[in-house]
Chains A and B, each alone.
Chain A
Amino acid sequence: MSRTLYDKLVDAHKVCDLPDGDILVYVDFHIMNEYTSPQAFSGLDAKRLGVWRPEAHLAVVDHVNATRSREPHDAASKLLIDNLEANCTKHGIAFYGLGDRRQGIEHVVVPEQGLVAPGMLIACGDSHTTTYGAFGALGFGIGTSEVEHVLATQTLRYKRMKTMRVTVEGDTAPGVTAKDIIMKVVQVVGAGGANGYAVEFAGSAIRGLDMAGRMTVCNMAVELGARAALIAADEITEAALKGHSHSGQFAFKGESWVSGPEAVFDEEFTISGADIEPLITWGTSPDQSVPITANIPSALDYVSPKAKAALERSLQYMGLTEGQSAQSIKIDTAFIGSCTNSRIEDLREAAKILEGRQVAEGVEAIVVPGSAMTRIKAEAEGLRGIFETAGFEWRPEAGCSMCLAMNDDIAMDGERIASSTNRNFEGRQGRGARTHLMSPAMVAAAAVAGHLADVRDFK
């Protein structure tokens, strides 16, 4: 019997069966941030429980911290940050706080530190934990009650998911990035189309991606509803594991972390790489996207009254007219950052567009490197100079920042943002803020043009 990669991973971590069909799975590594963990620690205190295995956890400050300076911007965020540090000290858990060279967005920090390897099971109180599937590891987001559960037991109660394979076959055109691939998948499968599924990405367009690209794909798989995303480990994965602080320490070898050749998936989608263009979202759900060369939809494109009403609501929130061309959409702000696209590879792609060009008048452009190490590396490569000369603000501290606006980077009511992030929900980047998702290179192109623009026009 050929098993899927997903089933191999679940089987390898099963501790025991539970009544009613759930199983207990072992969590190799658990990551915490300052905003989804406080109530988990207080839960432990209330039940007089300790942490089962403190060395298997890492806490990182990323969601609420200011990125303009190291000082917290207000008392409430300082309380969250200090609270996390105190909880870590009390329980003997590693803490990468502000000012630590290893600090940054959790899903950027973990691969940088070599804390992910094929075959691992990784949990974190953050939905974008699907990122680790890029390494052939089973990563998934959990709620705060489950954070408490992992702290106390090093396990989770788990229900096996159904399996889906999304195959992206064939070369993509120049200018098409990993972000466009996953945005296309979200468009085809739909937001929520993979609820209840673990999704494996396969095909030559996926295998051809570097690790940063694979992480972008797996990161945004949660926007399909996928509870886990996976890419088979191969020689690119192997190469990426070398040379990190932790990678000599553990390696989940002895098993080939790929789906068996005869493995059967509950659901299959196939997308042709040649059909993917640089995409932008026009609405308030990540599946509402069109190619940059196209027009945003009009009511004529829809049959059902429900779909027409949803279109109307999205267009009204976004302040757009039906049928308007994507490139006619003027922006106020350009933002490059987030766990989806703030790695060194993303900054390099954006810098290629910005070199020798200027941000358009009236556009505020911000770049927040995903981690302190990413920032240091980018500065050493001269990327900071390129961004700043073009008119971008280069943030000195790493964090989630304007992706979800939990710090002081909050967009204004009606402000329109070209954003390299993962969610264009109503109010995501600030109450009434209007988000257009796209690749970091496309954000750079929009910043220069002053409106959404085709990266392929910037040779």
Chain B
Amino acid sequence: MKDTQMTKTIKGIAAPLPLANVDTDVIMPKRFLITITREGLADGTFADLRFDNAGQQRPEFILNNAPWTQATILVVGDNFGCGSSREHAVWGMRQLGIRACIGTGFAGIFYDNARKNGLALPVVSPETRDALLQFAGNTSGAEISIDLDSRTITAGEISVPFEMGDATRTSLIRGRDDTLDSLEHAGAIRDFEAGLEHRMRVSVIK
């Protein structure tokens, strides 16, 4: 499949976004959700933080300021990605050029959506996160490097381990299609179904 495009290291300018509980309504406001495609979501990403009611850039928002206009990594507050299951939030972040968010913990559905779309979510301690927030806030534009193989983040003098489940890490590195991979277990799925009693098989009345 896509094994030739293995991603082992994510390197880039990181922007600090220290707000806690940034929910998927904030990441992708609902007016951008009335769509049947995955594309065209970059402008909607963080729209109410990036733009005012008149559509002008908000100068106080970090991603509107150099060098962070080039950011590909975010260092985020606690519980990032909470709320709605909308995968549009992750699609939009990827379309905006974000490849990783470093935080202390992420909401579950957001975490799984991220894995499916090549957005890495390394989990670190609150102390490490705060140190990385400070590093990212420096205007020099210094880069942060996330090594998925060794599960290490490097930022200047800082070199720290991060947490990431094995399956998530493998999935990010190899970029495989889960649906096609799982269909390789079609036999096991059929066996499981054969073991179900009739009354345990849902059949929805049309």
Q: Report the interface size class on chain A.
A: 35 or more
- CB–CB A26/B113 < 8 A: no
B95 interface residue (CB < 8 Å to A): no
- CB–CB A195/B105 < 8 A: yes
Residues 81 to 121 of chain A near chain B (Cβ within 8 Å): 83, 94-95, 113, 115, 120
A19 interface residue (CB < 8 Å to B): yes
Given contacts A42-B36, A94-B204, contact A153 B182 (CB under 8 A): yes
- What is the 8 Å Cβ interface bit string for chain A, positions 122-165, against chain B (1 contact, 0 not)? 00011100000000000001111110110011110101010000
B54 interface residue (CB < 8 Å to A): no
Given contacts A21-B167, A141-B109, A155-B189, contact A192 B79 (CB under 8 A): yes
Interface hit among A249-257, A262-270, A273-281:
A249-257
B124 to chain A, nearest CB (A): 15
What would 24 A/B residue contacts be, using CB atoms closer than 8 Å?
A16-B185, A20-B167, A26-B192, A28-B202, A39-B38, A49-B183, A58-B204, A77-B34, A80-B34, A127-B84, A141-B85, A143-B85, A145-B117, A153-B182, A153-B185, A159-B165, A192-B78, A225-B107, A249-B202, A285-B20, A285-B21, A406-B33, A425-B23, A431-B48
Chain B positions within 8 Å of A, measured between CB atoms, are: 18-21, 23, 25-26, 29-30, 33-38, 48, 53, 78-79, 82-87, 90, 105-109, 112-113, 116-117, 165-167, 169-170, 177-180, 182-183, 185-186, 188-189, 192-193, 199-206
A37 to B, closest residue via Cβ: B36
Report the Cα distance A404→B32, complex, angstroms: 13
Report the Cα distance A249→B198, complex, angstroms: 9
- CB–CB B29/A431 < 8 A: yes
Chain A positions within 8 Å of B, measured between CB atoms, are: 15-16, 18-22, 24, 26, 28-29, 35-36, 38-39, 42-43, 47, 49, 52-53, 55-58, 64, 76-77, 79-80, 83, 94-95, 113, 115, 120, 125-127, 141-146, 148-149, 152-155, 157, 159, 161, 191-192, 195-196, 223, 225, 227, 245-246, 249-252, 284-285, 306, 310, 313, 404-406, 413, 423, 425-428, 431-432
Report the Cα distance A192→B199, complex, angstroms: 37
Report the Cα distance A16→B29, complex, angstroms: 38
Report the Cα distance A126→B83, complex, angstroms: 10
B164 to chain A, nearest CB (A): 11
Q: Which of B83, B90, B182 is the one whose CB lies under 8 Å from A24? A: B182
Other 16 A-B pairs with CB < 8 A, given A152-B182, A423-B83: A16-B185, A19-B167, A20-B166, A28-B200, A28-B201, A36-B85, A47-B177, A79-B36, A144-B113, A148-B179, A154-B189, A192-B82, A195-B107, A225-B107, A428-B25, A432-B53
A-B contact count (CB 8 A): 206
- Among B37, B90, B185, residue most surrounded by chain A Cβ atoms (within 10 Å): B185
Report the Cα distance A404→B86, complex, angstroms: 12
B34 to A, closest residue via Cβ: A76
- CB–CB B202/A250 < 8 A: yes
Residues of A within 8 A of B113 (CB): 143-146
- CB–CB A225/B29 < 8 A: no
Report the Cα distance A427→B72, complex, angstroms: 25
The 3 closest A-B pairs by CB, nearest first: A192-B79, A38-B36, A143-B113
- CB–CB B34/A64 < 8 A: yes
B181 to chain A, nearest CB (A): 9
Residues of B within 8 A of A35 (CB): 33-34, 86
Residues of A within 8 A of B117 (CB): 145
A16 to B, closest residue via Cβ: B188
B108 to chain A, nearest CB (A): 4
Report the Cα distance A53→B190, complex, angstroms: 11
Q: Which of B82, B90, B180 is the one whose CB lies under 8 Å from A47? A: B180
Residues of A within 8 A of B193 (CB): 26, 53, 154
- CB–CB A43/B179 < 8 A: yes
Residues of A within 8 A of B78 (CB): 192
- CB–CB A94/B82 < 8 A: no
Given contacts A159-B165, A413-B53, contact A404 B30 (CB under 8 A): yes
- CB–CB A29/B109 < 8 A: no
- CB–CB B82/A191 < 8 A: yes
Residues of B within 8 A of A192 (CB): 21, 78-79, 82, 105, 107
A333 to chain B, nearest CB (A): 18
Report the Cα distance A55→B205, complex, angstroms: 8
